[in-house]
Structures are given as C-alpha cells and as structure tokens.
C-alpha cells in the first residue's frame, strides 16, 4: 500500500513541477492578498470630509473645531454659511459629515446649560457613519473635560452634587487596538481555506476531465490509496501556505505571536483535514472544472461569511448562528487569534480542536464514501 501511495505522491509533485505557473499560483496571489488585507482591511477611518456651519463664531466654537482638526481624522472641506449649504454638501457627496454649531453655544457653556451640537451624517455608508459618530462622541467628551478644566469663568458656580464616573480603558492582548492584529491571523485561515479547497477539487476533477482517472483506477491502486495520494500533497501545500502567511504577518506587519507553535500546528492540521474533506466532496459533485469552480464559489463564500471573520456571529439570526457550528473556519479563527495574541494552550482551545477533528472526520468519511460510489 505504501509503495502505491508513494507513487501517487511522486506523480502529483512531478505534475506540479512541470506546471511552470504552479509555484506562481500557489505563492504570489497568496502574498498579494495578505498585503492587501494588511493595508486595506481596517476599521479605522481617517480623513473624514466634514462641512462646518459655525453660527456662534466664538472662542469656544473655534476651540471645539480645533479638537476635530487636531485628531487628523477629520478634514474640513467647506465652511458653510447657511443650513442649505450643508444640505447641498451632503446631497452632492462632497462631505461625509457636517457640524452645525448654533448661535449662543459659548454662552450656554458659560451658564452651565447644555450646549447642543448638531451632527449630520451621510448614512449611505453605514460603516463609515457609525465609526465617524464614535469619533465625534470621543472628541466632544474630551472638549467638555478640557472646557471645564480650563475655560470656566471665575468665580465658578457651586458644583452640583453628582456622582462622577470615569472610564479607564485598558485593552488586553492588543493595547494599541491595531486592526492588523485582528485581520492578519484571520487571513491565515481564510486564504488557506480557499487555496486548499480549490486545489483539491480541481485536481480530482481535472483527472476525470482529461480521462486519466479511469486509467488510474484500472491499475492496482485502490480508491483509498488514490484519495491519499491526491490529498496528502495538498495537505503539505496547506502547511506551507500557513507558514508563508504567518511569516509575512509576523515579519512584515509585526503581528505578535505569543503562543505555542505546536498548538498552532495541531489546529492547522485539523483544519486542513476538514478543508480537504470539503474539496474532495466538491469533486464528487463536479464533472468539469467549470462545475467545480461554480460549486467552490457557492460554498466558500458562505463559509467565509459565517465564520465570524468580518461579521460578528452574535449579531446573526439564531438559525445562522446554529449553522456556524458546522463551519470549521469558525473554530480555526478562534484558535489562530488565541494562539497569536493571547498565548493560550490546549487547556482553553480543546473544544475548538475537538470540533474541527469531528468535522474533519465526518467530511472526509462522507467524501471518501461519495467518491468511491462515484467511481463505481
């Protein structure tokens, strides 16, 4: 058995060597996607275009505006003169956000009254709008603290008896709240999924399409040996992909790796078994490479969406939340981010590893049975 499986492995690597573009397809697109994700995928919003309608024209209103400009997150692109100007800026898409400071703003502050600030946001891009509003709240809160500390007219009025609550932020495992530290470990999982599933599905379908599958099956090799010979090379390629993306994330983007390499290797191995099962299962439903491509696109996208990579699972409907338990990428992302940033071990991650092992066993068994049936 070992000799026949070894012959299949040698055959697969010889085919890979003869394909001049194979190494390019396996490495270069992967590196490009990591770099794109590392630089482009971020929750941080900078240079938000704003219009300002300052109807007060006081030192207080100018100080408030300086707080916005000094952060570097907002660019004042229009000093509106009327409310109609603000509306036209929003409608034309020239600004993302508008600030309207009413007349009497400074006087209301000095009298201890509430000084309302109108914020108009273009909601067509809801993600940018929500993030920008979060920045506005932070800046206004900082302005209030600075104003009470430095600009209250003397003598100060007696302070009311209130309870003061101070928020002391202390992020764990990512003190600078770097988006790349969140995205790069997730990219390891998503790109490995896409690469391994595609390679496995297309390789088997290609054998069937060109007619060599029948030639192999009339040889002494058994179906299980054929499946091992087809999947083991892609398992090794998957390990290489993970190593490549991890090295780029740690070396280029400086994502910390504080965990145990053996725990990561165990998670990668179990995840690859599950993805190999998915790819092999796809190949049993495909007769041509075009069909394999369509099924791959149909299956991989939902796996990505339901993994929690970009969209919180807790925010999904209950039915979809239950469906995510069948998604190996969900568990692998937990393992990746926990090992990279938290440094936790098997004592914490064993449920995720057990889930991937169970899913891998089920998918491989189903795909092997389906594959043998399709050969018969």
C-alpha span between 348 and 351 (Å, rounded): 8
What's residue 71's pLDDT?
Answer: 86
Residue 72: partners with Cβ closer than 8 Å, 6 or more residues away: 46, 47
Question: What is the three-class DSSP state of 77?
Answer: strand
* Residue predicted with more confidence, 164 or 182: 182
Are 225 and 264 within one domain?
A: yes
Q: Is the pLDDT of residue 250 over 60?
A: yes
Are 12 and 59 within one domain?
A: no
Mean pLDDT, the chain, integer:
81
Q: Is the pLDDT of residue 155 over 60?
A: no
Report, as an integer, the average pLDDT of 270-298.
85
Neighbours of 204 (CB within 10 A): 25
For residue 103, give the CATH number of its domain: 3.40.1710.10
E strands, 48-148, are: 48-54, 74-79, 97-101, 117-121
Report the number of distinct structural domains present in the chain.
2
Q: Is the pLDDT of residue 172 over 80?
A: no
What's residue 373's pLDDT?
Answer: 56
Are 76 and 13 within one domain?
A: no
Q: Is residue 163 part of a domain?
A: no
Task: Tell me which residue range forms the domain holding 206.
Answer: 2-41+184-375
Q: Is residue 179 part of a domain?
A: no
Q: Is residue 340 part of a domain?
A: yes
Q: Is residue 91 part of a domain?
A: yes
Are 120 and 263 within one domain?
A: no
Of the listed ranges 239-248, 257-266, 322-331, 361-370, the least confidently predicted one is 361-370
Between the alpha carbon of residue 155 and those of residues 104, 124, 147, 370, the distances in Å are 21, 47, 15, 84
Picking from 150, 168, 202, the residue at the C-terminal end of a domain is 150
Are 306 and 189 within one domain?
A: yes
Report, as an integer, the average pLDDT of 20-25.
64
Picking from 102, 134, 150, the residue at the C-terminal end of a domain is 150
Please say whether the beta carbons of 344 and 337 come within 8 A.
Answer: no
Q: Is the pLDDT of residue 3 over 90?
A: no
Residue whose structure tokens are 């299949």: 8
Q: Is the pLDDT of residue 325 over 70?
A: yes
C-alpha span between 270 and 276 (Å, rounded): 10
Are 60 and 202 within one domain?
A: no
Of the listed ranges 81-95, 105-119, 317-331, 354-368, the least confidently predicted one is 105-119
C-alpha span between 311 and 305 (Å, rounded): 7
Question: Which percentage of the chain shows pLDDT scores above 90?
Answer: 22
Are 135 and 64 within one domain?
A: yes
pLDDT band at 145 (very low <50, low <70, confident <90, very high): confident
Picking from 150, 172, 195, the residue at the C-terminal end of a domain is 150
Q: Is the pLDDT of residue 164 over 60?
A: no
Are 313 and 294 within one domain?
A: yes
Q: Is residue 171 part of a domain?
A: no
What's residue 161's pLDDT?
Answer: 40
Are 274 and 321 within one domain?
A: yes
C-alpha span between 359 and 235 (Å, rounded): 16
What's residue 79's pLDDT?
Answer: 93
Are 239 and 275 within one domain?
A: yes
Are 305 and 346 within one domain?
A: yes
Are 238 and 328 within one domain?
A: yes
Q: Is residue 261 part of a domain?
A: yes
Q: Is the pLDDT of residue 131 over 70?
A: yes
Q: Is residue 125 part of a domain?
A: yes
- Distance from the Cα of residue 65 to its chain's centroid: 34
Q: Is residue 160 part of a domain?
A: no
């Amino acid at each position: 058995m070992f000799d026949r499986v070894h012959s299949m492995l040698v055959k697969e690597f010889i085919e890979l060597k003869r394909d001049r573009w194979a190494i390019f397809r396996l490495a270069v697109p992967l590196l490009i996607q990591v770099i794109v994700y590392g630089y482009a995928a971020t929750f941080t919003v900078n240079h938000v275009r704003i219009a300002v309608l300052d109807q007060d024209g006081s030192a207080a209103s100018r100080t408030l505006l300086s707080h916005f400009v000094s952060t570097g997150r907002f660019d004042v692109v229009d000093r509106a003169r009327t409310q109609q100007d603000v509306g036209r800026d929003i409608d034309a898409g020239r600004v993302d956000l508008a600030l309207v400071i009413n007349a009497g703003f400074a006087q209301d502050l000095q009298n201890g009254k509430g000084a309302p600030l109108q914020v108009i946001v273009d909601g067509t891009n809801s993600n940018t709008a929500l993030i920008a509003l979060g920045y506005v709240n932070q800046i206004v809160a900082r302005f209030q603290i600075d104003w009470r500390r430095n600009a209250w007219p003397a003598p100060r009025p007696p302070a009311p008896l209130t309870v003061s609550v101070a928020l002391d932020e202390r992020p764990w495992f990512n003190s600078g709240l770097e988006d790349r530290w969140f995205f790069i470990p997730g990219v390891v999982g998503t790109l490995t999924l896409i690469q391994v599933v595609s390679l496995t599905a297309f390789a088997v379908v290609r054998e069937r399409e060109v007619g060599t599958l029948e030639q192999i099956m009339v040889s002494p090799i058994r179906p299980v040996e054929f499946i091992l010979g087809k999947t083991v090379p892609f398992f090794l390629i998957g390990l290489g992909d993970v190593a490549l993306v991890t090295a780029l994330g740690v070396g280029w983007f400086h994502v910390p790796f504080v965990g145990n390499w053996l725990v990561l290797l165990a998670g990668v191995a179990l995840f690859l078994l599950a993805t190999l099962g998915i790819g092999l299962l796809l190949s049993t439903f495909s007769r041509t490479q075009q069909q394999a491509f369509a099924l791959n696109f149909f299956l991989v996208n939902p796996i990505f969406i339901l993994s929690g990579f970009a969209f919180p699972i807790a925010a999904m409907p209950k039915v979809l939340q239950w469906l995510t338990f069948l998604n190996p990428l969900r568990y692998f992302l937990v393992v990746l981010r926990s090992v990279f940033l938290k440094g936790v071990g098997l004592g914490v991650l064993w449920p995720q590893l057990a889930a991937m092992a169970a899913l891998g066993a089920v998918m491989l068994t189903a795909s092997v049975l389906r594959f043998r049936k399709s050969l018969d």
